[in-house]
Amino acid sequence: MLQINDALSLEDFHKVLFENTEIQLSSQNLSKIENSFEFLKEFSQNKVIYGVNTGFGPMAQYKIKDKDRIQLQYNLIRSHSSGSGKPMEPLYVKALMLARLNTLSLGKSGVHKSVAEVMQELINKNITPLIFEHGGVGASGDLVQLAHLALVLIGEGEVFYQGKRLETKEAFAKENIEPIKIEIREGLALMNGTSAMTGIGIVNIIYARRLLNWSVFCSSAINEIVQAYDDHLSEELNAAKKHPGQQKIAEKMRNHLKDSKLTRDRNEHLYNDEADKNTYFKEKVQEYYSLRCVPQILGPVYDTIEYTAKILIEEVNSANDNPIIDVENEHVYHGGNFHGDYVALEMDKLKLVVTKLSMLAERQLNYLLNNKLNDILPPFVNLGKLGLNFGMQGAQFTAVSTTAENQTLSNPMYVHSIPNNNDNQDIVSMGANAANITKTVIDNAFEVLSVEIITIIQALRYLKFDEKLSQKTRKVLEEMNKIIPEIKEDFPMYKINAEVKDYLKNNEVY
């Protein structure tokens, strides 16, 4: 059981999303929620508070009568439940709900405690609201996506439950769940905020970390395949640059290759009198960049992922709606904490580095497939009859095509603000769009790496290095042998591609 008590970590999200750990609001946070609610109820008497007794956005100039205040919240939720496109996958919706619940539990939103209690039930019972990918512009936060969450909390809309898409009231009846109570500003507090982009973003980080480790594995295994010199991974060389990510990637690769009998020591081959007598070296003195510069290429990926994780965890532990209820200072502050620029920028940075990772994978793949470059493998790592069979030739097209899509998708959303809402929202973040596109880029990168891994496995079978391989490469080879057949005869590879991609997404290599 995970206690919700102000500060969630990335590890907490991993437990809830991937290990199905249940959550429980701490008594301290429930008290904060109740105190905030009671304070706002009292404070809002005889005052004009945005979204409590006014309209919303450009309609804030209109005062709402006391008798209409509850209907105002219902109207907001229903009118903004206008998303379109693909439904968000349940994993990402669960992350969104956990992010929203944590924000509301800080006691700065003035919501009735039933909001937190029902959200806790939905998370623990894996009831995920139907929320669409398209709709939010990222300031007033993720209004449309979060409206669909609010719609379910009031007992309307649809949910995914036990693998089926149901009317919310049907799922609530099965689990004996009562809708939330609308009292003061529950609709606005649920909808004003960055929890959709942040929830999606946190899942993106978890997958991006896993993806990076698989890229390190591929890079290490290829260094074994070509029997590369090992000094480009040395601590001494990489310490000459002060970037933590570069040093970390080099360290990971050294650890992977520490017991390999294939990587070579430059001292034994080139730093001696015999080598000095040569006038031409058939074997390359230095490897191609896609092999030699991996720490320099993946280092920025590592650093970006870690910094993005820091920013998103800061966001998820922040009050990001409007206005902010300050019980301690007995005041209500109006501002723009719902604006998603922090998250939008990080998502754009993340998709940029993941695109570069997929480009590295595509170049490494090309190196393996082009026998004129590697000079050790048959064309297209073809284990069948040359000319008659095709090896990995067809799969390369898929990897190239997908990499090209990533290159186009990596253009930023952060600077694509379009004024809307009668120009009240005159500059917006497009954070949810940025997070969703990053999700696609990460998924695409797994597809590219799946083709690279299949090719690496074929190359290792051809070369028969066996006991010379590092223990880590041998262990993964053993696992992949259960999934990936030896490709001599041609057959449709789409099922193997999908199975390997699924394995990479759901398994840690380090």
Residue 450 · residue 500 · CB < 8 Å: yes
Residue 299 · residue 357 · CB < 8 Å: no
- Cα torsion 220, 222, 223, 224: sign: positive
CA gap 212, 350 in Å, rounded:
12
CA gap 426, 303 in Å, rounded:
33
| Distances, alpha carbon 36 to alpha carbons 6, 203, 317, in Å | 15, 30, 17
DSSP 206-234: HHHHHHHHHHHHHHHHHHHHTT-BSGGG-
**Own/partner pairs, 51-54, CB within 8 angstroms, 24+ separation:** 51/185, 51/188, 51/192, 51/322, 51/323, 52/184, 52/185
Q: How far apart are the first and last CA of the chain?
A: 26
Confirm whether 50 is a catalytic residue: yes
Catalytic hit among 50, 288, 307, 462:
50
3-class SS of residue 38: helix
Residue 332's beta-bridge partner residues? 325
CA gap 480, 383 in Å, rounded:
17
Residue 240 · residue 231 · CB < 8 Å: no
| Distances, alpha carbon 181 to alpha carbons 101, 116, 177, 215, 368, in Å | 16, 11, 12, 49, 61
| Distances, alpha carbon 7 to alpha carbons 20, 119, 261, 313, in Å | 19, 17, 46, 9
- Could you tell me the two tokens for 117? 């209690």
Residue 110 · residue 116 · CB < 8 Å: no
- Please state the φ and ψ torsions of residue 2, each to the nearest 5 degrees: -100, 125
Residues taking part in catalysis: 50
